Every structure is written in C-alpha cells, then in structure tokens.
A and B are shown apart, each in its own frame.
Chain A
Amino acid sequence: MNSFWNVTLALLEGFGSTCLIFAATLVFAIPLGLLVTFGSMSRFRPLKWLMRTIVWVVRGTPLMLQLIAIFYGPALLFGIDGFDRVPAVIVAFVINYACYFSEIYRAGIEGVPRGQAEAGQTLGLKKSQVFFHITLIQLIKRIVPPMSNEIITLVKDTSLARIISVTEIILVAQEYTRQGLIWPLFYTGVFYLLFVGVLTLLFRHTEKKLEYIKI
C-alpha cells in the first residue's frame, strides 16, 4: 500500500540518513577545517603548500568523484577492504567540507585587523589568548553568512550519497519512481525546504546575536 502515510514514513527514514550525514559532516568538518586553515597559513612552507594543494584538489574536483574514490579506491588500488558505505560518505563529505570551510575561515581570520592582535600582544596576552579572546568572536561574526551558504548547500549535497547506494531520501523516492509513482520524488522537496527553513531561521538568529559587534 503506497498511501501518503506509508510514503511519508519511508521518506522520513531516508531523511534520517540525510540528517545523519549532515550532522556528522558538520561535527567533524568544522574543527577539521580550522586545522586546515592553520596549516595553510603556517609559516612552515612544506605544510603550507601541502595544505593548499589538498584544498586545491578537493575544491577542484566534483564531490561525486571524491565519493567514488573514497568508497572504491582502497579496494581498487590496494586490494583491501575500504570503508562501509555510510562511513565512506561521511569521510568524503568531511574532507570536502573541511576544505571549503578552511577557506572561509582563512578569509575571516585575515579580515580581523592585525592591529588588534598587536594591541593584545602589547597588553601581554599570549597568542592563544589573542585568538580566543579577540580574534575568534570577530571571526565568527565574519563567517556566519558564508558558512550559512555552505551549510545550506550541504543539506542538498547529501543526496549525492545515493551514488554509492546509501539510502538517503532521494534514493528512497527513486525506488517509488521505478514502481511508476512519481509524486514521492517531488514530495522530498518539502523535507529539504523545511530543513533549510529551520536552518535559515537559526542563522538569522545568530547574526542578530552578533549584531552588537560593529566591524
């Protein structure tokens, strides 16, 4: 029975995977991106160039390709068992998004006037104190708009997971399409819209909270 209710339940289950990929990507990519930023801004040249090359490769190739490479790569290249499907998706997404985030962070850090860090330094602050008490909050303020954009893109990018047969919401809907039922596919749009709607409200709230900082 493909009643509206049954379809909704099935799609919700697929949407669970979507949310899992989304959440796991954010949880890991947000801090990893910061490490990539520090690497690509490092004064140690080899590290800097390594990081910049990685960012270039990751941003320069389709995420779909990266997914396939990470899922099939280990077996094809070394004949070893690679990741399971869901972990492979998460690894690929985390690496991909960490690189995008790192560039946003970098622009944000470079945007905080150097003079302020120097003022902190003359006041006897340690480097870590300058970062956590002066730079970080201004960095956050600067990156909220571009990060919102990336994060909203991530919501929709999760649908790429179906390439390696992870049953996220679109894949579930395509199952129905194969059975001749087309509307569930369009119905998935509602899920995405609601999700993005909630995120948009959240971002707007954050921006409001940071409005007191004039930079």
Chain B
Amino acid sequence: MEFLHVEGFRKQFAGTEVLKGIDFDLPKGKILAIIGPSGGGKTTLLRCLNFLETPDEGKVFLDGELLSDAKVSYSQRERREKQLKFGLVFQNFELFPHLTAIKNILLAPDLLARDRVKEQFKERRQSVKGFSARKALKKEEKRSFKELTAENKRHAEELLRQVGLSEKRDSYPSQLSGGQQQRVAIARALALSPEVLCFDEPTSALDPELTGEVLKVIRALKGRTLIIVTHEMAFAREVADYVLFMTDGVIEERGTPDEVFLHPQKEKTKAFLKHMEEYHDE
C-alpha cells in the first residue's frame, strides 16, 4: 500500500452514479495528474477526498492507516483533524474578499492555534487553584498563543515570498490579478502543511497569459504529494509522475505520462487526447 491509497470510491447524485468505484495509489512526494472530459467526476473525486462531499462507499488510507471510511460518521472534530491532511486549491480561487493576502493565509492557522492552545490549557486550568496561579496560567496561555501566531506569521510571509507575492502582502483579493489570486490561494492551502494538496483545474479560470505564473508556482512544489486535475496536457506531461484518465466515473487508463500520453491503450483515451490536441491547435 502506498502513502495515499484510495479504495472503492462511489458517489451518486440523485440516482446518477458519478463515481463508479475509484481506486488508486500515490507514493509520498509524487505528483498525480488527473485528466479527462467534462463531467467525468474529477471534481467530485477531489471533493470527496477533501470531505466536502461524503462518498457513498470507499475508504482512504494515509501513511498506512485508515483515515476515513464512508460507512463511518465522524464528529465535527474528527472530521476537522482528517480534513487537515488534505488541502484543496479551487478553480475560482475562493479567496476571502474581506481579508488581505496575508490575512487570507493566516485566518485558518491562527484559528487553529487558538483552539489548540485552549485545548492544551483546558485540563491544567481545571486542576489549578487560587487566584494568582490561575492568573499566571492565563498569562502563559496568552504567551503560547502569541508564540504560535508569530510563528504562523513568519510562515505565511515565507509562503508569500515562495509564490512571489511579498509586495502584495496587504492587498485585498480585488486588487490582485487572477493569477496573483490563485497564487495566494496556493499559499493559503500550503500554510496548513497538508499531507496531500489537491488542485482542481487551477488555471482554467485564468486568462492564458496568466496561467504561466501559476504553473510555475505549482512546478516549484515538486517533492510534495500533489493531485492535479488539469486540462493543461503539456503541463501534466511535464510535472506528473503518474496520470489518471477519468471518464464517466471510472478510471479508464492509468500510467506514467509517457504511457498515457504517448502510448494510450484505450480508444476513449486516444479520442480524448486527439480532441485536446485539436482544441489546442485552434
């Protein structure tokens, strides 16, 4: 079993089966590209992995351990812990319009830090007696929260630098180009250090001249475990270690980029690749 192991994902929407039993593996630090025609279930698959959708059936194993099972219902807290193993970059960025670039990145880590510190001190607070001791504990709690947020901030600034947007630190999303917004969204997802980061057509909402800067940022993430749904065939070929061709809710073909792009076995794959080529030539 590889680092990420997905087993038997099925999902229906109002009687139509959108995922018809999806199985795949992805080793740690490798990049998986998922390609396929519209409506094939690619987005649904990513949404299931990220707990935005509950599959009707299926299991996810991470690092050899069962992470989630569709048959089990998890509490909000368990779900939150599991959710943090995955990250998702959306097609439409979904930045928070009322927060600056840096605050978009910091919102979740800071809230998480607050919850974790609270949890940590909860037990100790119950056992401590006396006014001054309680006060000292409160001070300590405040200090450890402050330390964590300072660390978060350093990390966020580092991430902004990584995506080349240090100077846009205090800009609102509306003041950024689409490409810049998507780079902030990538930094935001990275801030929580997910084990697996998923991208759902990260450049398809962008003007062609802006896709390059986003692809460059993703390229630089090599070494992390990534799942990228994309219509950019050249990009998929270049960065991916493995490729899945998905259509009608099944994985029709899989392999290395060379296998899938140069020597496709299935008719559907050939037809799709030919279609994409023609589309590209237009």
Contacts and interface: CB of A to CB of B under 8 A. Distances in A.
Interface stretch (A6-14, A37-45, A118-126): A118-126
A127 interface: yes
B97 A122 contact: no
Given A121-B83, A212-B172, A115 B51 contact: no
B52 A123 contact: no
A53 interface: no
A145 interface: no
B94 A137 contact: no
B96 interface: yes
A127 B96 CA distance: 16
17 contacts: A115-B92, A119-B90, A119-B94, A119-B96, A119-B185, A120-B108, A122-B50, A122-B51, A122-B189, A124-B80, A124-B83, A124-B108, A125-B111, A133-B111, A137-B98, A213-B97, A214-B97
A174 interface: no
Given A115-B94, A214-B97, A121 B76 contact: no
Interface of A: 113, 115-116, 118-127, 129, 133-134, 137-138, 141, 212-215
Nearest to B85: A124
A207 to B, nearest CB: 14
B179 to A, nearest CB: 18
B174 interface: yes
Nearest to B92: A115
Given A129-B111, A137-B98, A138-B98, A121 B51 contact: yes
Given A127-B76, A138-B97, A215-B97, A122 B172 contact: no
B228 interface: no
Nearest to A132: B111
Given A122-B87, A126-B76, A138-B97, 5 more contacts: A116-B96, A119-B90, A123-B107, A123-B188, A212-B98
Contact of B83 (A116, A122, A213): A122
Given A138-B98, A214-B97, A122 B86 contact: yes
A213 B108 contact: no
A134 to B, nearest CB: 6
B229 to A, nearest CB: 15
A123 B76 contact: no
B192 A121 contact: no
B84 interface: yes
